[in-house]
Each structure stands twice: as structure tokens, then as C-alpha cells.
Amino acid sequence: MIMRKSIVIVLVLLVLSAVAPFGFGFWADSRLNTLLEDLNESGLVSFTIIKTSRGWLSTESVVEVELAGQLAKAFNKIKQKEGGGVVENPGVFLRSRIYHGPIAFMARNPSFIPVVATIDSRIVKDISDGAEELVNIDYRFRTDLAIQGGSKTTLSIPEWSGPVGKGDAVAEWKDAMISFKLSDGLSKTDSRIDIPFFRISAANGGMALTGLTLSSEIRPGAEDLPVGDSTVEIKNIEFSDRKTGASFNMSNLGITANTDIMDGLLDSKAEIKLGKFTLSGEQYGPAVFKLAFRNFNVASIARISSKMKEIRQNPDMPQDQMNMMIGATMISELSNLLQKGPVIEIGELSLGSSYGKLMGTAMITVDTDRPEMLSNPLLVKDAIIGEVDLEMPEELMVAFTMATLRKEFKDVNIQYNEDQLKTMAKARVNKRMSRLVAGNIFNKVGNMFKFSASIKNGISRVNGKPFQIPFGGMRPAQ
């Protein structure tokens, strides 16, 4: 009896394993069609299924991919600079093999995680008359359609080197990887790019970077504004100019950005950190820059964005008229945009060096207790509240000026030694800063130049003293 039940169970499993891939093939077709329709709605890329040939365990597919809208314009601008012609809808073809789930064991590098389908794709330029011309680089895609919804696409770019453009420039990179995770309806997009090494070199110089990683998690927020997190990490970047002998190197660059919407208000912040950089043989760092935008009315931003897009879609509109319409839009939304007291803040600007540390902060907002001023462009300046603080070591300014002088002298082939260069740099810094100190723009405290400014109730102060800001320039109040 037990033996009979075991045989029945095995037979049922065999039948299911044989039938399931065919059924999953129909499911995969539906999911793929929906995914391509969602991607088409972006207006930047067009996907058209040219051919589908379904089998029991897999399906062959050919999809035409064409650039559209702004992407097509950008592509054609690049081609024109290289001497090429304009293509109305530049594109390629994706030749794919769709391996049906639930276990796509025939796919390259098969995984035993259940999926609707695994799609292996390669890019070809031409499929006419059965001929295939691969793009210069053998791009290969792998897309997994998850059973619970969504998809993940991984693009592997093999090691490559070759000429770029019409000059003598040569580019090369090590194996790179790009991946995208898309939820159903594209309600959330996760992406990641890893490039271990990239270099472009020419007779007059070049650039090289190692350890590049870009990642983002983006989703639509209120008013369809994108929100989420993004990061950029680069272990090392080098630039060189063989003509002047100048070089620049920086390491451990990190950029993070976050945008979110709460209660109809947009908050966005970004932070840039740099471990160190070398300029003209001098080492600087670490460096930090923190920027934040808070309490911006999302509905107002969306209306301004929509109106500006509408205005710019008219290519025949004179620039003066376009500027007037954009200005009128900004004025009409002024009170809505400012009603919650938006804030723009530089939380930290700092640069370390052997000469001392440069430091700065800044903030600007509006006084929401004076709503009558926020809707009047002539009075809104009196509602502005802001402050700026900055301090710079004198020796750091001299070091930067020396780097500038080196380039100036090499450009005109002037001979010099380091002592002469330092003397001239000190003289230039002293000449410029002495005027600013005399005009109360900067105070000199020890070896530090300090600047402090504020504005409130329409009154500007610099280093604690009233300061007029007339149109066309600045001068201390009489």
C-alpha cells in the first residue's frame, strides 16, 4: 500500500515537472509583456516584440529596443560630434532565450530558486536575413522574473579596451556589472553599478578610476516626484595633463543622497566625503560637504515643474518670452512654495590640511510669521532669514595660490623656484585679502581669515556691522 502511494506521488511530481514549464511559459509571456509596457511609458525607450517562438522548456524572443525623446536627442548629439549622422530612433535588438520556471535549470549559471522564468539576452545590431552583427562589446543580460512579482536584470560587461572618438584616446575597463530590480508597475527601482577599473588615456593625458560603485533605491512619491536613496563610492581617481605636467589624485570619495516626502513637504539631503586628494604634490583632506533642503511644498514644486515643461516644449517660443513666462510661474507660486518655511542649509563645509582647516556653514529660510510678505515679490526679501560663517587659514590660501601660479607659469614657460613662487603667492593673497579686511568683509584673527554674515528683517550684517546689498554689488553701510 505504502509502495503504491509512493509510486503515485512520484508519478504526480513527474507529470507536474513536465507540465509546469509549459504553463510557466504562458505566465512568463504575460509578465514580460507587462514589464515592457511599463518601460515604454517612460517615453525614453521603446520596446517592441519582433518575434516569439515558444517551446516546452524555453521560448525564443527578439525585441527591438529604440531610444526615444531626450535620450534619442542626447545620443544623436554625441554621434554628430563624432561626425556621424542623425538617426530618428537609434536602437538595437535583444535576442533572448526565455527559460521557463519554476526551476530554469537550462539557463546559464542556473539557480534553484523558483522563478516564473530566467531570460538570457544578448545585444545584436542587425537581424536582417538571419545575419547577426554583435555590438562591439559582447553585452549579456540575465533577467529573473520573480514568482512573488517584480524582476531583476543583471548586465555583465566583459573586460574591454579600444579606441573612442576620432582622436587618439583609448579606453579600457575590467569586468563591470550592472543590475536593476524592478517592482511590478515600476513602483520601486533598485539599481547598482560596479566598475572595478576604468581608464581613458591619450597623448595629452588621461584619467583612471578604481572601485566605482553606484547604487540607488528609487520610488515615486507624492505628485509623482521620485524619492529614495542614492550612493556613489570611488576608491581612487587620477587625472594627468602631460602638456603641463599637472596631476590630480583623490581617494575614498563617497556621495550619499536622500529624498523623502512627509505631510506634503519635500526633504532632501546630500553629503560628500573625500578621504584625501593630492594637488601639485601637496596632500589635502579629509573634506566634507553637507547640503540639505527641507520643508519644500511638493504640490507647488510639481506645478512649477509641469508649467516649465509645458513652456519648454514649444521650440518656437523666443527666449525672452520663455523667461517671462517662467518668471510669472515662479511669482504665482511664491506664497505656496514659502508658506511652510523652506530651509536651504550647508551643514558643513570643511577641508583639512597641514596648514590648518577650512570650515564653513550656511543657512537660509523665511519668517513664516509674516505671511503678508511671502506673497509679495517686493517684500519677500524682508522675510528672509539667513546666516553664513566661514574661516580659512592664510597658509592654505597661499598653497592654493601657489598651485594656480605653477599652472600660469608653465602655460607661458616662465622659469621659477619654490621660494620665488611662495613669495609671489603670499604677496597675491595679502593684496587681495587686505582690501577685504579693510572693507570689513573679512576679519583676520591670528592666521585665520573669518567671515560672518546674517540677514533678518531686511537688515544685512557682516561681521556684526550693518551692510547694504545694493543691486550690482556690495559695500559697507555709510
Looking at residue 6, its pLDDT comes to 58
Q: Distance (Å, rounded) from C-alpha 402 to C-alpha 400?
A: 5
The total of structural domains in the chain comes to 1
Looking at residue 476, its pLDDT comes to 46
Is position 287 within any domain? no
Question: HSE (CB half, 13 Å, CA atoms) of 154?
Answer: 13
Q: Do residues 98 and 58 lie in contact, with contact meaning Cβ atoms separated by under 8 Å?
A: yes
- C-alpha cell, 27: 505566465
Q: Do residues 191 and 179 lie in contact, with contact meaning Cβ atoms separated by under 8 Å?
A: yes
Q: Distance (Å, rounded) from C-alpha 459 to C-alpha 310?
A: 38
Is position 68 within any domain? yes
Is position 25 within any domain? yes
Q: Do residues 133 and 163 lie in contact, with contact meaning Cβ atoms separated by under 8 Å?
A: no
- Amino acid, res. 191: S
Strand-pair partners of 265: 262, 297
Strand-pair partners of 202: 205
- Amino acid, res. 84: G
Is position 97 within any domain? yes
Residues 452-478 have pLDDT tens digits of: 999 998 899 999 888 876 544 444 444
Is position 6 within any domain? no
Looking at residue 348, its pLDDT comes to 97
Mean pLDDT for 140-165 is 86
Looking at residue 462, its pLDDT comes to 94
Q: Do residues 434 and 388 lie in contact, with contact meaning Cβ atoms separated by under 8 Å?
A: no
Is position 382 within any domain? no
Residue 48: give the domain boundaries: 19-158
Q: Distance (Å, rounded) from C-alpha 250 to C-alpha 238?
A: 7
Q: Distance (Å, rounded) from C-alpha 211 to C-alpha 219?
A: 27
Strand-pair partners of 83: none
b/e map 421-453, b = 16+ CB within 10 Å:
beebbbebbeeebeeeeeeebbbeeeebbebeb
**Grid cell 582647516 in the structure block, residue:** 357
- C-alpha cell, 55: 517551446
Q: Is the pTM of this model over 0.85?
A: no
CA nearest neighbour of 207 among 167, 166, 155, 250 = 250
Mean pLDDT for 110-132 is 75
Q: Tell how far CA 296 is from the center of its chain.
A: 21
Q: Do residues 204 and 243 lie in contact, with contact meaning Cβ atoms separated by under 8 Å?
A: yes
Average model confidence (pLDDT) across the chain: 84
Q: Tell me the pLDDT band of 105, cut-offs 50, 70 and 90.
A: confident
Looking at residue 65, its pLDDT comes to 85
Is position 11 within any domain? no
- C-alpha cell, 379: 517684500
Instruction: State percent of the chain over pLDDT 90.
Output: 33
CA nearest neighbour of 462 among 388, 371, 397, 404 = 388
CA–CA–CA angle 224, 227, 233 (5° rounding)? 145
Instruction: Tell which wins on pLDDT, 338 or 256.
Output: 256
